[in-house]
Amino acid sequence: MTAMTRSTALSAEHEELRATVEAFAREEVAPVIGDLYERGEFPYDIVAKMGRMGLFGLPFPEEHGGMGGDYFALCLALEELARVDSSVAITLEAGVSLGAMPIHRFGSEEQKKTWLPRLCSGEALGAFGLTEPGGGSDAGATRTTARLEGGEWVVNGSKCFITNSGTDITALVTVTAVTGERPDGRPEISAILIPSGTPGFTVGKKYSKVGWNASDTRELAFDDVRVPEANLVGERGRGYAQFLRILDEGRIAIAALSVGLAQGCVDESLRYAAEREAFGSAIGGYQAIQFKIAEMEARTHTARLAYYDAAARMLAGEPFKKEAAIAKLVASNAAMDNSRDATQVFGGYGFMNEYPVGRFYRDAKILEIGEGTSEVQKMLIARELGLPA
């Protein structure tokens, strides 16, 4: 969808932001990201530029160093970045919705004053430690523990697949941990902020991943890690409920990122179909290619409408859990399907790393897994429809 037709659905301010990020992705990210991706290098220069643009502070108030925008603005930025590269997009998404948002939503005023200005500027990154090696989708089965001892939390356990957790500018990770037992016998789960470099806090080596190779993903270990009691984020025992809220919002952001990848597949396929000739004419003139690209565009358009709707409901203060799950499910499916079809349009060249569609294909699969698998989204939708848990 062109910028002109898309702008009709956006306010002037949102369209200006979208166009600015689109130009940044095309001019600053596209020329360098391929090499960084293949070398598995974190894009520090790009992140610094995004910080200066204010992208990390988009949905946060100016009093805490933010831009005073809204969550939809973040989603628009993520879509435009992911049209070019998902490693850069997920670095922004995780830094904002997982790293800074828990502090903004649930943190004390002191925590906000201490951490949000640095996180909003992009000078520092935050991470969110939820997933554990034996947990996966069963986040309620948290085994990491934290006990109060002499006015300090003593944290023990491990987390896995944590984005932005081991870069040179990572400043903190907020982890979920069992801090006691509820009256009904279930574990009491709380969220605790742990600054980078705290003794006993070990960051593992970078994973060798199928995709998102220019982003940072690691395993974390906590061995008698001590932090002040004041590092509790939100209310004790509300960590599980807090992260459910964070994940609901994050699913809209991941849907936006997925739409960007799906749109990037359309962009690249249109360009290639006009240039590539077979049997004496451009392949874009063959109905088989036309139909494939038409289906790709239809998927992208539908997924975009889904995340727009979920974001609008969220910003209006309306229930949005079901709509966020629908958006994430539909958009991640679109990204996966479009990346496969775009690779097919490119034929043998689609299997070569010099073309972006190969990178898109590698990046798409995680979108059906991260921040809630497709199966979890279906479960959430069913429950919201009133079907039994």
Q: Minimal CA–CA distance to 343: which of 333, 334, 352, 331?
A: 352
**Amino acid (1-letter code) at residue 156:** N
CA angle 307, 64, 153 (to 5 degrees): 90
Spatial distance between the Cα atoms of 83 and 342, rounded to a whole number of angstroms: 13
Q: Are 89 and 214 in contact (CB under 8 A)?
A: no
Tell me the catalytic residues: 371
Residue 349's contacts (CB-CB under 8 Å, 6 or more residues apart) are 272, 355
- Measure CA 278 to chain center: 39
Q: What is the CA radius of gyration of the chain?
A: 21
DSSP 8-state secondary structure symbol assigned to residue 208: -
d(CA 173, CA 128): 5
Amino acid at 16: E
Alpha-carbon separation of residue 106 from 61, 81, 243 (angstroms) = 14, 28, 10
* Separation of alpha carbons 204 and 178, rounded Å: 22
Q: How far is CA 188 from CA 142, 224, 236, 280, 371, in A?
A: 10, 19, 8, 68, 22
Residues whose CB is less than 8 angstroms from the CB of residue 379 and which lie 6 or more positions away in sequence, other chains included: none
Tell me the three state secondary structure of residue 148: strand
Buried b (16+ CB within 10 A) or exposed e, 281-295: eebbeeeebeebbee
Integer Cα distance of 119 and 234 in angstroms = 18
